[in-house]
Amino acid sequence: MKAYNTDKAPAAVGPYVQAIGTENLVFTSGQLSINPENGELVTEIKAAARQSLENVKAILEEAGTSMDKVIKCTVFLADINDFAAVNEVYKEYFSDHKPARSAIQVGALPLGGVIEIEAIATL
């Protein structure tokens, strides 16, 4: 296994890596909507979804893969009523290629986040 970390995504907020890979797969840790340039948490839902996806994208690229090789995403929402707004942004990243996905409302996210996204991609 190999761990992946990049400065183009926020540092882990706990004892974990941004992603870990096997011979064929990369598993990202959940990505909050933290802007890696200034460390600020983005909380407007569309901007937050975009930031979380940009963080996932940067980590996948560091691992040598890309968004078009994502096979599964999990989207954690603080409010399931944000589902439609998130989909508007999500389809910008997954238009032709659509991976499997789960979207779940959770009780709370770290740092008071509104969204967290994780992905599994092939290498």
Confidence of residue 14 (pLDDT cuts 50, 70, 90): confident
Q: Is the pLDDT of residue 38 over 90?
A: yes
Sequential DSSP letters for the chain: -EEE--TTSPPPSSSS-SEEE-SSEEEEPPEESB-TTT-PBP-SHHHHHHHHHHHHHHHHHHTT--GGGEEEEEEEES-GGGHHHHHHHHHHHSSS---EEEEEE-S--GGG-SEEEEEEEE-
Average pLDDT over residues 6-34: 94
pLDDT in tens, 46-100: 999 999 999 999 999 999 999 999 999 999 999 999 999 999 999 999 989 999 9
CB 45 within 8 A of CB 17: no
pTM (2 decimals)? 0.95
